[in-house]
Amino acid sequence: MNNMKKAGIIGVGGYVPERVVDNFEMEKIVDTTDEWITSRTGIRQRRIASDSQATSDLAVEAAREALDSAGIKAEELDLIIVATLTPDSNMPSTACIVQDKIGATRAAAFDLGAACSGFVYGLVTGAQFIQTGAYKKILVIGAETMSRVLDWKDRSTCVLFGDGAGAAVIAEVGEDEGIASFELGSDGSGAEFLIIPAGGSRMPATCEVVQERLNCLKMSGPEVFKFAVRVMADSAKRVVESAGLQMSDIDVMIPHQANTRIIESSSKRLAISEEKMFVNLDKYGNMSGASIPFALYEAHRSGKIKKGDNVLMVGFGAGLTWGAAVLKWSI
Ligand code: ACO
């Protein structure tokens, strides 16, 4: 155990498509209002990919910036993990498309499916290879084109999501830096609360199911809401404790960017001040697997997270899944 190396983030990158769709534009698409969306979710606008952009295109932009930020070349990467629920296609993995596009000639590549918790799952998975010394440089990307799996006639879901990508390079860091603790969890009994029913082996995408829009995301909002509030607070408390810290030692918390009411409720339950919570969902909506890495990227770039800070991130999403981690920021 003592021979284990410490794994941490040495570079971050992010990308969102140019097209901004605000709530007033959503009013023209479905029967909704800016007032409803803002008061129920905190979302004011989201980014939507252009017709020519797929998930890998967003991922590549974020990846290039993360490599620059880490000061390494793509050829140095040993592994690429792409956390996504909106891959370019079911096969091959989006990670392989990214591997080719950035020229990561030595890297293994795979996609990871844990929906909105995907980046935390990817970070923790990648970290195991660094800790054992098997690999030296790993790129973890959360990237989504949620706009492609939304039912644009369902006002209860289409107003919530946006497109984007965030990326992080992980590598060995100093002994008192990097990932201090983590928790990954799942509860498949809630699988139906957040689901894209068609397009897999259970319900292949025939003309009939596409006509019924069963190839689009379906969500039981109130059930997910209750789960999110509970799991955000409980898993955050456990990872902070297992890092040997108090909640007051946390400098910045990066919650999954789904809904400000979930974030506010977690902040109360955790007795962590709202100023320590990084929130950017008003500008981007819920970018699923891209939410946490893009928030990390913006928090780092804006100086909100500084070297030496204790950063707590907590994700939750379809599965149901959750993932939380505490890191001592090393860049
Ligand atoms: N505009 C106007 N009215 C709407 C809209 C809309 N966009 N959407 C729903 N409504 C209506 C409903 O039809 C309903 O009307 P009714 O009472 O006449 O039937 C009313 O608003 C209330 O609907 P609820 O679903 O009860 O609204 P709620 O207050 O629960 O808010 C929300 C809905 C925002 C979706 C909330 O439940 C939520 O945030 N849930 C969690 C979602 C989440 O965090 N997802 C993250 C995981 S995503 C992933 O893993 C991919």
Domain residue spans of the chain:
7-176, 179-328
Return the pLDDT at 59.
Answer: 98
Looking at the CA of residue 317, tell me the nearest atom of ligand 1.
50
CATH architecture of 7-176: 3-Layer(aba) Sandwich (3.40)
Residue of the CA atom closest to atom 10 of ligand 1: 156
Q: 41 CB under 6 A from ligand 1?
A: yes
Nearest to 182 by CA among 129, 109, 101, 121: 121
Return the pLDDT at 78.
Answer: 98
Return the pLDDT at 164.
Answer: 98
C-alpha distances out from residue 112 to 109, 119, 120, 145, 294, Å = 10, 9, 11, 15, 17
Return the pLDDT at 3.
Answer: 82
The topology (CATH level 3) of 179-328 is Peroxisomal Thiolase; Chain A, domain 1 (3.40.47)
Q: Do domains 7-176 and 179-328 have the same CATH topology?
A: yes
Q: 259 CB under 6 A from ligand 1?
A: yes
Return the pLDDT at 208.
Answer: 96
Residues near 208 by Cβ (< 8 Å), separated by ≥ 6?
A: none
Residue in 26, 186, 225, 262 to alter for ligand 1 test, most ligand atoms within 8 A of Cβ = 225
Helix ranges (H only) for 83-197 are: 94-102, 118-132, 155-158
Tokens representing 58 are 């967003």
> What's the CA gap between 270 and 262, in Å, rounded?
12
- The one-digit pLDDT tens for each residue of the chain (331 residues) are 568 999 999 999 999 999 999 999 999 999 999 999 999 999 999 999 999 999 999 999 999 999 999 999 999 999 999 999 999 999 999 999 999 999 999 999 999 999 999 999 999 999 999 999 999 999 999 999 999 999 999 999 999 999 999 999 999 999 999 999 999 999 999 999 999 999 999 999 999 999 999 999 999 999 999 999 999 999 999 999 999 999 999 999 999 999 999 999 999 999 999 899 999 999 999 999 999 999 999 999 999 999 999 999 999 999 999 999 999 999 9
Residue in 32, 40, 148 to alter for ligand 1 test, most ligand atoms within 8 A of Cβ = 40
Q: Which amino acid is at 3?
A: N
Nearest to 251 by CA among 311, 298, 179: 311
